[in-house]
Amino acid sequence: MAKIVFGLVWFIAAACIVFIVSLPINLQTHLIAGTIVLLIMILLKLFKSEGTWRLVALAFGTAIVLRYVYWRTTSTLPPVNQLENFIPGLLLYLAEMYSVFMLFLSLFIVARPLPSRPPQPVDEGDLPSVDVFIPSYNEDPVLLADTIAAAMALDYPADRLTVWLLDDGGTDQKRNSENVIEAQVAEARRTNLQKLCAELGARYLTRARNEHAKAGNLNNGLDHSTSDLIAVFDADHAPARSFLRETVGYFNEDKRLFLVQTPHFFLNPDPLERNLKTFEKMPSENEMFYGVIQRGLDKWNAAFFCGSAAVLRREALQESNGFSGISITEDCETAIELHSRGWNSVYVDKPLIAGLQPATFASFIGQRSRWAQGMMQILRFRFPLLKRGLSFPQRLCYMSSTLFWLFPFPRTVFLFAPLFYLFLDLQIFTASGGEFLAYTLSYMAVNLMMQNYLYGSFRWPWISELYEYIQTVHLLPAVISVALNPRKPTFKVTAKDETITTSRLSELSRPFFVIFGVLVIGVFVTVWRIYAEPYKADVTFVVGAWNLLNLVMAGAALGVVAERRERAATRRVQINRRCEFGAGDIWVPATIEDVSVNGARVRVSGQGALASVDTGQASIRFTPHWSTEPEILPVIIRNKDREGDAVAIGCSFVRMQTVHHRMIADLIFANADQWTHFQASRRRNPGVLLGTAWFLRLALYQTIRGITYLFRRGDPAVGVPAQAKGARS
């Protein structure tokens, strides 16, 4: 009975909203109503932004969005008999409806996301056995050594933990290749990694052939292992010591749990963060997904496997014949299959690994192209909306995750729609300038407020639009390709451990300058048309403003593809670790202030004994978490800076023995709290107005910087990354 009453209430509420939305009101009344709603949302944001009040504000915003949809549908489409206007007008309308549909899906998923819940403690005797899989293809052995060392140092009983390096770079197929050089490289790799694993205490495993890419590699690991749970880490994803302690307990609470997923935290900035210098002060792109969206998915039992930083139940994987490999995004595909079989998932909202992400724009686009194509394959072959076994909320969640990657289509339409009018005088939006301003501006303002309610300090205004724009230019052909031939895409390794030694334009930058130039011409055409056709000045002004907004976005993108020189692949991590610093026979107390995978900064206070030591070999002595006795890590002094009575020493690590990998991993990766603190330090909500002002300043500066790079470098292909090694992600 209660369900019937609840459903009836929702039906009546929906009917009332439809009635209000479709009321025939004049332009002035709509403008007043939109302004009132916007003010209400702002006031609620200032004073009552959580709980029920948050939902009330979102409901007000939804009413304005629906009002806009009603107006667009009933009053603005060109006549069907004018095909030159109707076809582009319909494309623009469909692009807008896609955006509205995705907004409503987002509201359903993240309007009230689920907070992370800690697992119940598990007695030592009840801890399940765990196999740790580290799939690898062509990564540098030093990178692999750090990840394996961090995995071996996990705080877990040694008799219940087995670490596996799953090497797809040393397969029999590669070792017997007709290409002699490739065969020799594979043979040497296999020998070296076998030795590395033996020294670190891990197990090395390869296979006969490179079939089904990462999914096939993981399934080969399943065939050769026996533990209850499987932890998966990408080759560049090193876990904190507490990773298993904070994840395996959930499996004892729910016997139908197949997945515990944790966030991906990255030590280095992506191309946008590096080139725009936002890494330390603005939340990363992935934080919106892991900080809000995954928690929303978790509420509906739809948090999915992200390929790494996760623990899975072997029993569930065996039921589905292992990791799915029809698409090139085996992680999400595997989750869909297991959710449809009645298995559950949990998302833990705490970064427990640290990894690397693509540093160059080309590698970034390569990674996103694979994600987009893989999701399109899932949409084609698995189609979540009709997938048997999924609950209705799960269907909507997976549809949201897959349909998101269609964004290149509407982004392209929004980019060029104003030019249809400015250059060709096509009437694709039949409305006066006043109507356009009243309805569209209120819709855009309310939309920005709703985004701010949903994502707040996790995503600043206009940054999502910039990320989508910089991907659209190159993802559009990739998505079209997989739509025409769903089985064509193949798994490609993402280059990660990259160093850019020359400031340069990306080799993929040319289309962005062409688009920017076309939009600049559109600005001049706007001015000319306002002068030459004053009777249409209101419409021309509005369309010109739209084109100018696109120009601002395109200018910011020029800064993204103008790649800054940066020698270090990873940023230094701030720590405060007591140690002893030694040079020759002299040992003095010191503090390790920051550390990266390549070196550290050590502060020595008032030590005249080291005054004569400027460069050369030295040592750091400290007690790792996995030991009760201090260990010695050799370093090379690179520089010294006197700061009052203290001396700050910059040094590089020297990996001479296997234990040195373990010590470096202990310094960087052991403490998970440092990642949480770093994320918290850059999470703040500037609000819509301040965030917009900040973005406009950023776009202006980056436009100038991008154009400067163009004239200084000439050829966009000038300058290449000095180092690029692959990592699967």
Among 550, 548, 531, 542, which Cα is nearest to 435's?
Answer: 542
* 506: helix, strand or coil: coil
Active-site residues, by number, are 168, 331
> Contact at 8 Å (CB) between 601 and 648?
yes
**Residue 340, token pair as written in the block:** 């449809």
Q: How far is CA 486 from CA 145, 179, 215, 369, 406, in A?
A: 37, 30, 18, 14, 15
Q: How far apart are CA 166 and CA 1, in angstroms?
A: 55
Q: How many CB atoms lie within 10 A of CB 4?
A: 8
What backbone phi and psi angles, to 5 degrees, belong to 243?
Answer: -55, -55
Using CA atoms, how far apart are residues 682 and 672, in angstroms rounded to an integer?
17
For residue 180, the tally of other CB atoms under 10 A from its CB is 8
Contact status, residue 47 vs residue 451, Cβ threshold 8 Å:
no
- Bridge pairing between strands 562-563 and 504-505: antiparallel
Rounded distance between C-alpha atoms, residue 455 and residue 116, angstroms: 16
Please tell me the distance from the alpha carbon of residue 146 to that of residue 129, in angstroms, as a whole number: 23
Residue 355: burial class (beta carbons within 10 Å; 0-12, 13-18, 19+): buried
**CB-based contacts of 637: which residues, under 8 Å, 6+ apart?**
583, 613, 614, 615, 616, 617, 618, 649, 650, 651
What's the Rg (C-alpha) of the chain?
A: 28
- Residues 161 and 51: their CA atoms lie apart, in Å, by 42
Q: What is the DSSP string of 508-548?
A: T-HHHHHHHHHHHHHHHHHHHHHHH-GGGHHHHHHHHHHHH
* Maximum pairwise Cα distance, the chain: 91
Spell out where 596-659 has E strands: 599-605, 616-622, 631-643, 646-653
Asked if residues 464 and 404 have their Cβ atoms less than 8 Å apart, the reply is no
- Alpha-carbon distance values, 280 to 273, 312, 576, 667, 727 (Å): 9, 33, 19, 21, 24
Do residues 631 and 601 make contact, with C-beta atoms less than 8 angstroms apart? no
- Is residue 530 exposed (0-12), middle (13-18) or buried (19+ Cβ within 10 Å)? middle
Would you call 362 helix, strand, or coil by DSSP?
A: helix
φ/ψ (deg, to 5) at 220: -65, -40
